[in-house]
């Protein structure tokens, strides 16, 4: 019998409390942790220069939206630059969010790198110095963290090596976060790139999640103080067969039932290049799907909460309110979807636009 120690009870209680607050009924996460390069791509779509001030102005737009947005947004994932930025009146963004009842979180990985000897597969870097960074982020107001790993579906991928390596990296990250009082969001994203069908996507997702939870168990991660951020199970973007939202929901819920322990606090899905409306409707279908679902099933969306915001704002000061109104609409739609109560049809400046980006990197 292997010997190991649980986290101190007080730390377990703190982590579980944070995780439960994030997955409160009708609430989810705004992922605003785009890297400088990625936000530059978003800005280019509206003809806006990628400067630190424009990045600050855009995040200020998001975080100064009407307080009612906190009815559906429980947490915001920040990029490190954003954590240390302030509003026009000098209020740190993290402090502003806390005043609204929104929990600040932080992206802590350092991006994907090629896994040598594989067919273009990757692992995620950033473990060096992570403990010190987590301690600093906790002191500066963050309560949770996010780390993204990426796996691709191909003829011979994901390989056993890629699955194992990424699972172990996620587990090591999770233990470091928890030791420093941060709830880790574990994100093993199976990319939607490819022409694979729904069944293949489900099989791969099950294999990946199974390996992740084996690794989390091996590393003694406290599951009640974690959140999972997986892809929904959908066919590849180039698949010629069309599936219904109900079929996507069935495949997704089955994959989770077969792999995710009920001790896990909640599941906060990534949107994975779906349109804003598809991301909401699929989430709603997942929550309406019959069967045992022992975890909260909610959202942690970036593009699917921000595409209409960016389009309505267009980088113009006079359009800030219009952008904020779009955020509130999409947050409400997804909050309703997390309860299985979204009836569909919320229009927006970019609600139906496809948001897929090939080989998406943050």
Q: What are the residue numbers of the active site?
A: 187, 229
**Distance between CA atoms of residues 171 and 339, nearest Å:** 29
Distance, CA of 262 to CA of 95 (rounded, Å): 33
Rounded (10°) CA dihedral 139, 23, 85, 64: -140
Q: Are 22 and 227 in contact (CB under 8 A)?
A: yes
Contact 268, 335 (CB under 8 A): no
Q: How far is CA 119 from CA 153, 161, 200, 237, in A?
A: 11, 11, 18, 20
The vertex-154 CA angle with 149 and 158, nearest 5°, equals 40
Rounded to 5 degrees, φ, ψ at 113 are: -135, 155
With beta carbons less than 8 A apart as the criterion, state whether 147 and 184 touch.
yes
Name 196's Cβ contacts closer than 8 Å, sequence gap at least 6.
Answer: 153, 204, 235, 236, 239
Cα–Cα distance, 168 to 166 (Å, whole number): 5
Which residues are CB-contacts of 303 (< 8 A; sequence separation ≥ 6)? 271, 273, 276, 355
First-to-final CA distance of the chain: 41
């Amino acid at each position: 019998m292997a010997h190991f120690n649980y986290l101190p009870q007080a730390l377990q209680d703190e982590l579980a409390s944070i995780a439960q607050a994030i997955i409160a009924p009708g609430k989810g996460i705004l992922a605003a942790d785009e890297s400088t390069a990625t936000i530059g791509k978003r800005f280019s779509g509206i003809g806006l220069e990628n400067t630190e001030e424009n990045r600050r102005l855009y995040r200020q737009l998001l975080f100064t939206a009407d307080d009612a947005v906190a009815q559906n947004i429980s947490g915001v994932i920040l990029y490190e630059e954003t954590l240390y930025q302030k509003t026009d009146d000098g209020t740190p963004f993290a402090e502003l969010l806390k005043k609204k009842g929104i929990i600040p979180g932080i992206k802590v990985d350092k991006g994907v790198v090629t896994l040598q000897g594989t067919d273009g597969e990757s692992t995620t870097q950033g473990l060096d110095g992570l403990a010190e960074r987590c301690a600093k982020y906790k002191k500066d107001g963050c309560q949770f963290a996010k780390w993204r790993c990426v796996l691709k579906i191909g003829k011979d991928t994901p390989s056993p090596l890629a699955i194992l390596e990424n699972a172990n990296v996620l587990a090591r990250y999770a233990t470091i976060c928890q030791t420093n009082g941060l709830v880790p969001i574990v994100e093993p994203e199976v990319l939607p790139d490819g022409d694979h069908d729904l069944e293949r996507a489900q099989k791969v997702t099950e294999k990946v999640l199974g390996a992740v939870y084996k690794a989390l168990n091996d590393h003694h991660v406290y599951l009640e103080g974690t959140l999972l951020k997986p892809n929904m199970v959908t066919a590849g973007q180039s698949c010629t067969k069309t599936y219904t939202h109900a079929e996507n929901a069935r495949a997704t819920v089955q994959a989770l039932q077969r792999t995710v322990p009920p001790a896990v606090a909640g599941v906060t899905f990534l949107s994975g290049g779906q349109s804003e409306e598809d991301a909401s409707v699929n989430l709603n279908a997942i929550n309406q799907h019959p069967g045992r679902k022992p975890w909260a099933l909610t959202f942690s969306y970036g593009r699917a909460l921000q595409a209409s915001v960016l389009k309505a704002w267009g980088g113009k000061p006079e359009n800030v309110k219009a952008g904020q109104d779009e955020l509130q609409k999409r947050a409400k739609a997804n909050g309703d979807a997390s309860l299985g109560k979204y009836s569909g049809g919320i229009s927006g400046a970019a609600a139906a636009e496809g948001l897929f980006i090939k080989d998406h990197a943050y």
